[in-house]
A and B are shown apart, each in its own frame.
Chain A
Amino acid sequence: MIYLFALSAILVATFFGFLFLRLLDREKKLGILEGLGLSYGLGLGIIAIIMTSLSLAGVSFNIFNILMPFILIIALGGIFNKIFPKPEKACLKVNLGREKINKLELFFLCAILFEISFAFFVSLIKPMESWDAVAHWGLKAKMLYFLKGLPLNLFSMPCIKDVVSTGDYPWLWPFSQNYIYNFIGCFDDFAPKIITPFFFASCLVIFYSILRRINLKRLHAIIFTFFLASIPHFNKYASNGYADLILGFYYSVGFLYLYLWFNESDRIYLLISAIFTALACYVKCDGIFLAGISAMTFLSFILFGGVKNRGKIFKDFIFYISILALLSLPMFLLKQITFAGLSHHTVNMEMFSAFKLKNFWRIFPTMYAYQEQFFNIKSWNLTWVLFMVSVFLAFIRGTLFRKELKFLTFAIGLIFLAHISLNIISREESACLKALSRMFLHFLPLVVFFIARVFTLEESKT
């Protein structure tokens, strides 16, 4: 019964997310399948922004306070769209397609469905139990429920700082759990576990849609979606209550729609990219770092994308950065106010002043840790081996820096470079290596997309 209530909470969030997406998608470019995938993340993301704003305003959390602003936003948007309507455009709407599904497609579709069902099954038969799920995210969500909101002096309350070790982390994941508690009217250690498998399913649906948007055949889009779904490192995080898959979802969706925009310059892609990238900042501190990578990739597109009208593209860049800044502002304010005077142990301004030249020797343990991840055959994570093969193939074919691949290459390369640099600069040795496997998860969909692009470059041109 508790799962039925939790599912209702998810459906309500998705429904509002869907209405919001329809307001943004004024030319009706998005299909139902793609729209549903986006609506889920959008619904929970906007709820997190609302809950952040409620915290800043000192308003307590309850289902009315959480959903009312959402309804108001949708109503205002609806009125705006009525006054200034835009005609629907004929365009590619991504659905499964009308052609008959062949046996091979059916096999891979069943395999994807198996992975999704298995993620739900494993998630729902266990309560919150893994380390970060209870120590950080679950505990925070439970605290907020008993405190009926997020008091701005939370971390000056006696003992809270000792109990919560990642106080400066953003709040999307605890807020999503708290939304479920408020919806069902009680604390429950099983109910919020319904959230992450839905992120997994949404990620796959959107990934498939994006592959179709770059003109991949249906069979190939399904196969590469299966690749992503079957990576054990990826689907494991759909059921263990960690925030890393959620961050991977928001960042990857944000980046891949930016990539689509580089190719098609459609306003809806840019909007989705900016919103989802901003929402990545609400999940973990790493999201802020990844949002910076997306912004730098955009800048590299202006400089090296061979664009004709640089002035117009620069205006789009300002638009993108403005949305990113505006949406992530409440999160930064909340972080600044609740965690005033306290600092993150790995990334802050002090760490730069603590940098010494002799830290460069850390490049060796860093490289060692990287190769451990790349050749992690123990848990059959073959993705990175396949990624290296793809890079090699793209290099010898001369496509690594061609239009279709260069911004993906740039973003993935920049993530690695920034992460290695951070580990060298950081005060604490190996601070950034502790959660390396999870850091790799944040951009895994991008890597699979890169592999798909390399192997299907000839096909998608037609």
Chain B
Amino acid sequence: MKMFRIILAAWVLAWLFFTVRGLIVEKDKSTLKDYISLVSADWEGKRAIVFGKDLYEFIKFCKANLPTGAGYEIIGIPEDSIDLPRLVYYLYPSIKKRDADFILVYKKLGFEEKEAYLYASLNKESFILKRK
């Protein structure tokens, strides 16, 4: 039982230390500062903090401009980036597919596609192209 008491004391100390440390050290937007800004933000603000302002602006822009259920391709977000599933999740029922009518271009200044025209534009580097 003495051994158990030592383990328990060490565990509680480690728990206290790492819980407090977790609120201070920068990691995955989980510091006390991040929590305070998340609590004080409205729903839109929370999404913008979690996804990053630029991506969330782009998601909102695509949702507003893509016809419901339209197919799209994405340019500018790597396949292994977490931004990709987030975008796909929020844009559903529009679906990501190959050779789709719409091309969503994110942060690719000057990107062009043959036989596609500018359908809607968020800014110079993020826009939607539509295949002719």
Give chain A's interface residues, CB within 8 Å of chain B: 111, 121-122, 125-131, 134-135, 138-139, 142-143, 146, 158-160, 162-163, 189-190, 223, 227, 230, 232, 380, 382, 386, 389, 455
Known: A129-B51, A139-B89, A380-B14. A223 touches B46 (CB 8 A): no
A111 to B16, CA, bound (A): 10
A139–B92 CB distance below 8 A: yes
Residue of B nearest to A165 (CB): B85
A128 contacts which chain B residues (CB < 8 A)?
89
In chain B between 48 and 81, which residues have their CB closer than 8 angstroms to a CB of chain A?
50-51, 71
Residue of B nearest to A232 (CB): B18
Q: Which of A121, A127, A138 contacts B50 (CB 8 A)?
A: A127
CB B93 to nearest CB in A, in angstroms, measures 5
A126–B85 CB distance below 8 A: no
Main secondary structure of the interface of B (DSSP, over half): helix
B46–A159 CB distance below 8 A: no
A139–B88 CB distance below 8 A: yes
A111 to B82, CA, bound (A): 33
B7–A386 CB distance below 8 A: yes
A142–B18 CB distance below 8 A: no
Residue of A nearest to B97 (CB): A159
**Which one of B35-43, B101-109, B110-118, B119-127 is at the A interface?**
B35-43
B39–A125 CB distance below 8 A: yes
| Interface contacts beyond A122-B30, A134-B88, A163-B92: sample of 12 additional A-B pairs, CB < 8 Å, sorted by A | A125-B39, A126-B50, A129-B50, A129-B51, A138-B89, A139-B88, A142-B89, A162-B96, A163-B97, A189-B47, A380-B18, A386-B7
Residue of A nearest to B87 (CB): A134
B46 contacts which chain A residues (CB < 8 A)?
125-127, 190
Known: A127-B50, A146-B92. A162 touches B7 (CB 8 A): no
A134–B15 CB distance below 8 A: no
A-B contacts, 9 of them at CB < 8 A, read A111-B15, A125-B35, A126-B50, A131-B85, A146-B93, A163-B92, A189-B89, A382-B14, A455-B4
B interface residue count range (under 10 / 10 to 19 / 20 to 34 / 35 or more): 20 to 34
Q: Which of B11, B38, B50 contacts A382 (CB 8 A)?
A: B11
A2 to B3, CA, bound (A): 48
A135–B8 CB distance below 8 A: no
A162 to B22, CA, bound (A): 37
Q: Which of B8, B82, B92 contacts A142 (CB 8 A)?
A: B92
CB A338 to nearest CB in B, in angstroms, measures 18
CB B8 to nearest CB in A, in angstroms, measures 7
Q: How many A-B residue pairs have CB under 8 A?
A: 73
Give chain B's interface residues, CB within 8 Å of chain A: 4, 7-8, 11-12, 14-15, 18, 22, 30, 35, 38-39, 43, 46-47, 50-51, 71, 82, 85-86, 88-90, 92-93, 95-98
Most buried by A among B4, B86, B96, B98: B86
A135 contacts which chain B residues (CB < 8 A)?
85, 88-89
B38–A125 CB distance below 8 A: yes
CB B12 to nearest CB in A, in angstroms, measures 8
A269 to B51, CA, bound (A): 45
A223 to B5, CA, bound (A): 11
A127 to B43, CA, bound (A): 9
Residue of A nearest to B51 (CB): A129
B97 contacts which chain A residues (CB < 8 A)?
158-159, 162-163
A382 contacts which chain B residues (CB < 8 A)?
11, 14
A111 contacts which chain B residues (CB < 8 A)?
12, 15
B30 contacts which chain A residues (CB < 8 A)?
122
CB B30 to nearest CB in A, in angstroms, measures 7
A125 to B92, CA, bound (A): 23
B8–A134 CB distance below 8 A: no
CB A204 to nearest CB in B, in angstroms, measures 15
B35 contacts which chain A residues (CB < 8 A)?
121-122, 125
A134 contacts which chain B residues (CB < 8 A)?
85-86, 88-89
Residue of A nearest to B18 (CB): A380
A389 to B6, CA, bound (A): 13
A389 to B15, CA, bound (A): 19
A380 to B51, CA, bound (A): 27
A223–B8 CB distance below 8 A: yes
B82–A131 CB distance below 8 A: yes
A125 to B95, CA, bound (A): 28
B11–A163 CB distance below 8 A: no
A230 to B8, CA, bound (A): 12
A232 to B28, CA, bound (A): 14
A190 contacts which chain B residues (CB < 8 A)?
43, 46
B8 contacts which chain A residues (CB < 8 A)?
223
B96–A143 CB distance below 8 A: no
A239 to B95, CA, bound (A): 27
Instruction: Across the A-B interface, give the 7 residue pairs with the lowest CB-CB distance, nearest first.
Output: A135-B85, A134-B89, A159-B97, A125-B38, A159-B95, A230-B15, A134-B85
